[in-house]
């Protein structure tokens, strides 16, 4: 008999893989998705996507609104707290305060291999419009201010270990020179990101960042606020 490992993925593992990919698609989406959009993203028939959706709904990992559109459910926030829990606890009050102070969505990302993953996020309710940034959203390190800020904080040995290349990119070098990273439309169209490194012993390389619809006129003040917030998080962590 041929071992299962040599005949490709089992039906169960394939379903699990698609369920996990569905969560990734929803995390990466800028707005709630329809079942047709989810099926297209998974490259499966609508009926298969619906079965995956029903399982995720039953476990409260996703929810549907009155229009039937799908978004991530609150159950995922419980899982997120299990990733770097001490950092999550230290960061949450600081980024919430900063989001309201600046009127910008504020978040902390951590390095995962060659990608950055949003760990915790806060959106202000004292402004007319905000940019959603869901926990769990990931993108390549070389795209966006948080990735550039994280890269700027890595030693040569860390870059080799995490990225396979000890040489720093141009964007990482520029972020190190300035002390912060700035990006425009690298992750989301027409959105500006500003980030500074956040390094805490025992935790993965991280960054604290804000996103806005345009480059703030008071960018120096925003950078100062981010750097102060990074220090507060590090002090709270201790």
Beta bridge partners of 107: 121, 209
- Name the strand (E) or helix (H) holding 37: helix 35-42
> How far are the Cα atoms of 7, 124, 157, 162, 217 from residue 212, in angstroms, in the given order?
48, 12, 33, 29, 11
Tokens 């956040």 locate to 198
pLDDT, one tens digit per residue, over 35-62 is: 999 999 999 999 999 999 999 988 888 8
Q: Out of 63-77, 113-127, 219-233, which region has the weakest mean confidence (pLDDT)?
A: 63-77
Q: Are 130 and 146 in contact (CB under 8 A)?
A: no
- Mean pLDDT computed over 17-37: 84
Edge-to-edge strand order for the sheet containing 206-212?
A: 138-140, 115-122, 105-112, 206-212, 192-198, 181-184
Q: What is the pLDDT of residue 82?
A: 55
Write out pLDDT tens, residues 106-126.
999 999 888 888 888 999 988
Q: Where are the domains of the chain?
A: 4-74, 81-237
Give the E-state strand segments of the chain in sequence order: 62-64, 70-72, 105-112, 115-122, 138-140, 181-184, 192-198, 206-212
pLDDT at 4: 45
- Cα distances (angstroms) measured from residue 182 to each of 42, 129, 179, 206: 32, 21, 10, 16
Mean predicted lDDT score pLDDT of the chain: 85
Higher pLDDT, 228 or 27: 228
Confidence of residue 5 (pLDDT cuts 50, 70, 90): very low
- Top-confidence residue, 36 or 75: 36
pLDDT at 27 over 80: no
More confident residue, 48 or 86: 48
Where does residue 103 fall: left (phi above 0), alpha (psi -120 to 50 degrees), or beta otherwise? left
Q: Say if residue 199's pLDDT is above 80.
A: yes
Q: Domain 4-74: state its class.
A: mainly alpha
Q: Could you tell me how far CA 164 lies from the centroid of its own chain? A: 22
**Domain 81-237 coded CATH 3.30.450.40:** yes
Phi, psi of 200 (to 5 degrees): -130, 130
Q: Is the pTM of this model over 0.75?
A: no
């Amino acid at each position: 008999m041929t071992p299962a490992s040599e005949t490709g993925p089992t039906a169960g593992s394939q379903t699990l893989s698609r369920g996990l990919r569905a969560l990734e698609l929803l995390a990466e989406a800028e707005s709630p998705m329809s079942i047709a959009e989810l099926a297209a993203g998974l490259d499966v028939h609508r009926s298969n996507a619906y079965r995956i959706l029903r399982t995720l709904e039953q476990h409260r990992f996703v929810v549907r609104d009155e229009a039937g559109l799908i978004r991530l459910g609150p159950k995922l926030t419980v899982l997120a707290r299990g990733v770097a829990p001490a950092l999550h606890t230290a960061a949450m009050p600081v980024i919430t305060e900063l989001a309201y102070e600046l009127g910008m969505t504020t978040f902390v990302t951590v390095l995962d291999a060659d990608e950055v993953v949003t760990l915790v996020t806060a959106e202000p309710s004292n402004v007319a419009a905000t940019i959603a940034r869901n926990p769990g959203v990931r993108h390549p390190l070389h795209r966006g201010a948080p990735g550039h800020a994280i890269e700027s904080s890595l030693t040569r040995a860390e870059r080799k270990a995490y990225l396979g290349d000890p040489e720093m990119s141009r964007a990482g070098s520029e972020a190190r020179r300035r002390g912060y990273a700035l990006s425009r439309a690298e992750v989301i169209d027409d959105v500006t990101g500003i980030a500074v490194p956040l390094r805490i012993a025992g935790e993965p390389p991280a960054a604290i960042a804000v996103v806005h619809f345009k480059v703030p006129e008071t960018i120096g003040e925003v950078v100062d606020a981010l750097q102060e917030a990074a220090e507060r998080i590090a002090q709270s962590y201790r």
